[in-house]
Chains A and B, each alone.
Chain A
Amino acid sequence: MTTTTEAPVPPIAPLDTPAVRAFLAQPLDHMARLPWPFPDGYEAFRYSVNVDQARVPRPTLAGEWGRHLVDLGGAEYPTIMAERRAVLAADPARVKVLPGMELACWDLLLYYFRDLALSYPEVMHLDERVDGDADRFRWRNDLLGTDQEFTLGREETLPCGPLEMLAREVPDDLLLVRERDGRLHFDAGAVTFAAAWSVSFDVGMDMYEIHGPVPRMTGSGMTARAEQFLLRMPADQVFRRVNWNVAASPTRTYDISLEALPAWAGDMDAALAAGTAIPDCQLRIELEHFVRLPMSGAVTFNIRTFMASLAEVRRFPAYAAQLATILDELPEDLATYKGFAHLIPQMVAYLRS
């Protein structure tokens, strides 16, 4: 196993351009970008292989989500990336790359840089064929002040490994799965915002091992179907899936990983004691994107985390009512696995008040 070595973290220094100013001046509205995870009329949640074509915008009562592969987070982008970079600097073990995954990491970096430059052309740029060399690229991210030239496949041309390089530029947690001996394995990841799991613990596991603790998942054949889907996923399409939870910390902390447990484990009890917990409880949405990468055949399982507090959800009565119905109906094993079973009566009462 190789761990990317710690490198000095470049500071976040947005360029002073009209496009950057306009981007960062967008109003902060957590509901406006939140992928509302429940279809209209949906009243009872069960896990499913709910995959969908990516890059199709979905309107919600509060705004829209899903137009691009990467949602930068609007004006919140520099804040999210500062948290990401601080975690990476403090704990380099959040980046794990198993042997044989090096090419997949380059595949991922190039795919995302190309996509970002096309999705956000005013503020992100990728020059290809620098000096006529097809393998040389120059990446510029005006929002963070990144300006990096590199040669594809040559790690010494980057300040860190390609996986960590991308993790410093996008809010998504990056996960790569590949087929080994007929099963999909999670063999590389740069994960700073895991919701109560650990990249170091999970890396190298197959889908069955990773989903072992999820009630009703493997027994119902869902793990097998999800694995078959990812194994067979066509190379010319991009897919996504939405998952949800109520975060274990009633704060906007992205890093509620097991590594950081001591830092957040007391948050909920403290807020409950202070009587402020329930409105601040965070509906935490994971938007997963699946891309088959062409050079390596590895598939992404990238996870972008969105949060909105129950107070923010309550601004939209139809959503508040739907979430209350779903929480109220949720079977106990699922609520216990998700970790908020004991909070359900208070959350439901708050959402219905």
Chain B
Amino acid sequence: MSAVVSSTAPVQRAEAYVGHQHPGYALGRRRLHVVGLERLTDRVLHVELADPSGRPLAAFQPGSHLVVEAGEGRRNAYSLTGDGFNPATYAISVLRLDGGSAWLHRTLEVGGELEVEGPRSMFPAAHDQQHALLVAGGIGVTPVLSHARAAVRAGRSATVLYSYRPGHAAHLDDLHELAGRPGSRVRVVEATDVKQTRVSLTGLLADQPFGTHAYACGPSGLLEAYEEAAELAGWPASRVHLERFVAPELDPGDPFTATVASTGRRVEVPSGTSLLEGLLAAGVPVGYLCKQGVCGECRLPVRAAAALDHRDVVLTAEERQSGAHVMACVSRGRDIELDL
């Protein structure tokens, strides 16, 4: 998974605050060494990073991502492909698109440095899963590989559906290697066009053992097909997990007013401008990253609102109903009083 996160530096937590004493728990901005580069396909570059002084890196849950500096103030998020258990290195796979990913492809070299932040866990495994159905589309294979590796380490079973275009199957060999290990309980199913993918999704979602959790990462078309097939097969939503890397298109919305409760400051948010942009322009500091309603960084507490239009993919149905928070980068409303 990869997501463009922001073009200007957001409010960051300072590494100086000693939340954790041991360097093996550091999550703040820091520079790592590039210790390995491998071209997996003509458009995917695999990058391995290590601490420059050989100190341990923070462990992470499978499905976590790393935020990396991507040139000209850009910061992108990439899924880590390892299982997260006491990692000696961090590994990400970067699909070359425009902007930050192209910069990484162009600039990175072994022995060089890269500024990172995290890992952050937004796509974890359910602790009590009996089995995992892992669905990957294209570069969405990266968190799926992380989950598959964690399942193998824990001795748990997983079924992987990997949908890719022939010639663009990054990490397919890694998945086969996992499945081929003695005693491995990982099975890999491949699909190389839309029709095959739909047939496999329908078939796999209709035939999973009791206690399975399903996870998917890929382009929005695949995720829609996945959600539809899961619903048709009667899956409860709490067992159907997904990670988006392309945010849905949003309409510009109506203008509205937001009030900062502590100061009484009123901020007018015009149509086509987000609440986040409105607040930042008015000098109200708000931390943010993805500006896509995906990462959860810009969650703001709401004291009162005449209406809230939640357009993020972070808040749960329960949280939306409670109206206690709003994701400032995408969501809108009417007369929102922010508890800031």
Chain B residue numbers with a CB within 8 Å of A295 are 59-61, 84-86
Contact of B18 with A118 in the complex, beta carbons under 8 Å? no
Q: Give A227 to B68 CA distance when docked, in angstroms.
A: 31
Judged by a CB distance under 8 angstroms, whether B126 is at the interface is yes
Q: Which residues of A contact B58 (CB under 8 A)?
A: 294
Give A225 to B92 CA distance when docked, in angstroms.
36
Q: Tell me, yes or no, whether A100 is within 8 Å of chain B by CB.
A: yes
A172 within 8 A of B: no
Given contacts A115-B22, A153-B85, A181-B238, contact A294 B60 (CB under 8 A): yes
Q: Please give me the residue from chain A that is nearest to B13 by CB atom.
A: A236
CB distance from B169 to the nearest CB of A (A): 29
With an 8 A cutoff between CB atoms, is B71 at the interface? no
Q: Please indicate the chain A residues that have their CB under 8 angstroms from the CB of B252 in the complex.
A: none
Docked complex Cα distance between A40 and B124 (Å): 42
Chain A CB within 8 A of B24 CB? yes
Shortest CB distance A153–B (Å): 7
Report the count of interface residues on A (CB-CB < 8 A): 33
Complex interface residues of chain A between 84 and 136 (CB less than 8 A to chain B): 99-101, 103-104, 107, 110-111, 114-115, 118-119, 128, 134-135
Residues on B with C-beta less than 8 A from A294 are 25, 58-61, 84, 119
Interface of A is mostly: loop
Binary interface encoding of chain B residues 111-124 relative to chain A, with 1 for a CB under 8 A from any of its CBs, else 0: 00000000111001
Shortest Cβ gap from B22 to chain A (Å): 4
Evaluate contact between B27 and A235: CB separation under 8 angstroms. Answer: yes
Given A114-B24, A118-B21, does the pair A178, B127 have CB atoms closer than 8 Å? yes
Give which listed residue, B17, B24, B124, contacts A297 with CB less than 8 A.
Answer: B124
A210 at the B interface (CB under 8 A): no
List the B residue with the shortest CB-CB distance to A54. Answer: B19
Interface flags for B80-91 (1: CB within 8 Å of A; 0: not) read 000011101000
Asked if A180 is an interface residue, CB under 8 A from chain B, the answer is: yes
Q: What CA separation (Å) do A111 and B88 show in the bound complex?
A: 17
Instruction: State in angstroms the CA–CA spacing of A99 and B318 once bound together.
Output: 28
Q: Do B56 and A111 touch (CB < 8 A)? A: no
Could you tell me if B21 and A180 are in contact, using CB atoms closer than 8 angstroms?
no
Write out the residue numbers on chain B whose beta carbons fall within 8 Å of the beta carbon of A235.
27, 120-121
- Given A101-B127, A115-B22, the answer on whether A107 and B59 have CB atoms closer than 8 Å is yes
Judge whether B154 is part of the interface by a CB distance below 8 angstroms. yes
Query: Are A296 and B238 in contact, with the CB atoms below 8 A?
Result: no
* Chain B residues touching A, range: 20 to 34
Q: Is the CB of B18 within 8 A of A296?
A: no
The one of A103, A114, A118, A187 that contacts B154, using a Cβ cutoff of 8 Å: A103
Decide if A138 is an interface residue (CB 8 Å cutoff): no
Which of B20, B119, B127 makes the CB contact (< 8 A) with A238?
B20
Q: Does A64 contact B (CB under 8 A)?
A: no
CB–CB B127/A111 < 8 A:
no
Write the B132-162 contact mask toward A (1 if CB under 8 angstroms, else 0).
0000000000000000000001100000000
In the assembled complex, the Cα of A104 lies from the Cα of B154 at a distance in Å of 12
Question: Which residues of chain A are within 8 angstroms of B85 by Cβ–Cβ distance?
Answer: 103, 152-153, 295
A100→B88 contact, CB < 8 A: no
Counting chain B CB atoms within 10 Å of each CB, the highest count among A99, A115, A238, A297 belongs to A297
- Interface residue? B128 (CB, 8 A): yes
Type the 1/0 row for B296-325, where 1 means its CB is closer than 8 Å to any CB of A.
000000000000000000001010000000
When the two chains form their complex, are residues B56 and A180 in contact, meaning their CB atoms are under 8 A apart? no
Q: With an 8 A cutoff between CB atoms, is A50 at the interface?
A: no
For the complex formed, measure the closest distance between the CB of B150 and the CB atoms of chain A, giving whole angstroms: 9
Contacts of B121 in A (CB 8 A): 235, 297
Asked if A236 and B20 sit within 8 Å, CB to CB, the answer is yes
- Interface 0/1 of B55-86, CB less than 8 Å to A: 01011110000000000000000000000111
Contacts of A298 in B (CB 8 A): 127
Flag whether A182 is at the interface (Cβ < 8 A): yes
Q: Is B36 an interface residue (CB 8 A)?
A: no
B25 touching A99 by the CB < 8 A rule?
Answer: no
Question: Residue A55 contacts which of B13, B18, B59, B84 (CB distance < 8 angstroms)?
Answer: B18
Answer whether residue B255 sits at the interface, using C-beta atoms and an 8 A cutoff: no
User: Which residue of B56, B60, B85, B119 has the most chain A CB atoms within 10 A of its CB atom?
Assistant: B85
Return 9 A-B CB contacts under 8 Å, by A number.
A100-B127, A104-B127, A152-B85, A182-B316, A235-B121, A236-B25, A237-B19, A294-B84, A298-B127
Q: Which 5 A-B pairs have the closest CB atoms?
A: A237-B19, A114-B22, A295-B59, A294-B59, A236-B27
